[in-house]
Chains A and B, each alone.
Chain A
Amino acid sequence: MTELAHFGGATLVVAVQLVVVVAGGLLLLGVMRKTRSRLEGRVGPPVRQPLLDVVKLMSKQRVRPSSASQVFVAGPVVLVATALFVAGTGPLVTSDPPLSKSTDFFAVVFILLLGSVALALAALDTGTPFAGMGASRAMTIGALTEPALLVAVLALSVPAHTSNLPALVREGLSDPQVIASPGRILALCAFVVVIIAETGRLPVDNPSTHLELTMIHEAMVLEYSGPDLALVTVGESTRLALLLGLLVNLFVPWGIASGRGAVELAFGSAALAAKVGAAAIAIATFEVFTAKLRLFRLPELLAGAFVLGLLGVVTALVVR
C-alpha cells in the first residue's frame, strides 16, 4: 500500500512540476514580452499570448521539406522530451522530486545538450543555408558555454561533496552560509551568462529579430510550421523556465517544498512562480538596455564566464 502511495506521490509531483514548468514557461515568455513593452512605453500583448499562439499552431497545417529525413520531425520531439525530463525530475517545486537520487547535475547538463544537438541536426536536415548558419552559430556558442557551465557546476559541487542536484538545493536550504560563499557567487555569475547564451536572449541573440543574418536560434526554426513549431516553442520556453528555476533554487532556495504533500506542492509552485517571475522581469529589463553583441565578441563574453567559473572552483577549494 505504501508502495502505491509512494508511486502516487511521485506521479503527482511529476505532474505538478510538468504543468507548472510548461505552462509557466509560456507565461514567462509573455511576462518578458510584457515587461519589454511596458518599458518601451506601449501596452504590449497580454501575458497569456504565447499560450494562445501555441494553441492556434496546433490546428495549423504541418509542412515539411521534401528532402528532409526523419531527423527533421524528430528534432522538436527530442527537444521537448529532454526539457520535460529535466522539468519533471529536477528540484523545482520540491526539493524531493521523484528519482531525486539520480538527478545528477552533470546528467542534466548533458541531457540539455542532447536537446540542442537534436535541434541543430534537424536544422541541418532542412538543406537551407540559413538553417545551416543557425546550426553552426548555435553549436559554436554551445561549445563555448559548455566549459563555463561545467566549471560552474563543479564550483557548486566541490563544497557539497556531491553533484546531485536536489542535494545541492537542500544544502543551500539547510546552511544559508553556503549560499553567500564566494565560490558560489562566482558560479552564480557564470550561470547567469550561460543561461542568457543557452536560451538565446540579448545580448547574445535577439529573439525577435527578422533579419536572418543576425539570427542564431531563430534561424534553426524558420522551416517549422503548425504543431512542430508549437513543440519548438514549448521546448524553448520550458528550457528557459527550468534553467531559471534551477538558478533561483540554487541561489535563493527559500520557499521550495521539502516533501510531496499537495499543500506543500501548492506553496512550492507559488514560490517558484514568484522567484522565476522576478528573474524573468530582471532579464527583460536588462534586455531593454542592452544591444546585441557582435557575433565575434561573444567568445570574449563566454570566456569571461568560464574564467569566473574557474575562479569559483579555485575559491571553493581554498576557502574550505
Chain B
Amino acid sequence: MSFRSGVRAVLRPGRVTEAAAPRPDVALVQARPGAAQRGSVQVRHVDAGSCNGCEMEVVSAFGPVYDAERFGARLVASPRHADVLLVTGPVTKNMARPLVTTYDAMPEPRLVVALGDCARDCGVFRGAYGVEGAVSDVLPVAVHVPGCPPSPDVIVDALRSLTGR
C-alpha cells in the first residue's frame, strides 16, 4: 500500500466509535475501597481455558467501535500494574495454579471479573475432564459478566461499573 493510500485509509473513516450509553448502575459492584473508582482501571486479562470467543469480544470492546479506553480502562501486560483481573473461560486443571499466582501477584486493592458463561459456571464445558471449576471456585469474583460470548457493549458496561465513568 503506498504512503498516500495509507494516509487516506487512516483519515477517511473519521470517528467510528458508537456513542456512549448512559452510565450504568454503579451498584453492580459491591462496596469496597475505591481505588478503581477514581476513573482509572488497569485490566490484566488471563485466559484460564476459554474457546477464545470471549477474547474476540474483549478485543472488539477495546477496539474503535466500542472503545472502552474512553472510560478510563486500559489493558496492561503485568499483574503488578493491574487493579482488575479479567478471567475468561472455565478454570482448567493446568491453568489453576498460574491463575492463582497471577492474582497473588497483583497489588491490593484488587478485583476479579469473570467474563462469560464459562467463567461463571463452566458453561458448555461443565464436567469436562480437564476442567477444575468455575472462576469463583478458585478466586473471589467481584463481577460476573454473563453471555456466551457477552457482547462488547456488555463488557464495556461492566468496565464502566468499575471505573465509575
- The interface of chain A, by Cβ under 8 A from chain B, is 37-46, 49, 52-53, 55-56, 59-63, 209-210, 212, 215, 218, 222-226, 229, 288-289
Contacts and interface: CB of A to CB of B under 8 A. Distances in A.
Contacts of A289: 3, 6-7, 10
A45 B38 contact: no
Interface stretch (B71-79, B88-96, B149-157): B71-79
A43 B70 contact: yes
Contact of A61 (B10, B11, B16, B107): B107
Contacts of A37: 67, 69-70
Given A42-B16, A43-B15, A60-B109, A218 B77 contact: yes
Contacts of A44: 67, 69-70
B148 to A, nearest CB: 25
Interface in B1-35: 3, 6-7, 10-11, 13-17, 35
B108 A39 contact: no
A224 to B, nearest CB: 6
B77 A210 contact: yes
Contacts of A56: 35-36, 38, 40, 83
A56 to B, nearest CB: 4
A210 B70 contact: no
A210 B75 contact: yes
Contacts, number: 92
B77 A222 contact: yes
A99 B63 CA distance: 48
Given A46-B72, A53-B42, 15 more contacts: A41-B14, A41-B17, A42-B16, A45-B72, A49-B39, A49-B40, A55-B38, A60-B83, A60-B107, A62-B107, A63-B80, A210-B75, A218-B77, A229-B80, A289-B6
Nearest to A211: B77
Nearest to A46: B70
Contact of A41 (B15, B69, B70, B83): B15
B113 to A, nearest CB: 17
B38 A41 contact: no
13 contacts: A40-B10, A41-B14, A41-B16, A45-B70, A56-B40, A59-B35, A60-B108, A60-B109, A63-B80, A209-B77, A222-B81, A229-B80, A289-B6
A65 to B, nearest CB: 10
A42 B64 contact: yes
Contacts of B11: 39
Contacts of B6: 289
B105 interface: yes
A95 B27 CA distance: 53
* A-B CB proximity, top 5 nearest: A61-B107, A42-B64, A225-B107, A225-B80, A52-B40
Contacts of A53: 40, 42, 74
Contact of A224 (B3, B65, B80): B80
Contacts of A55: 38, 40
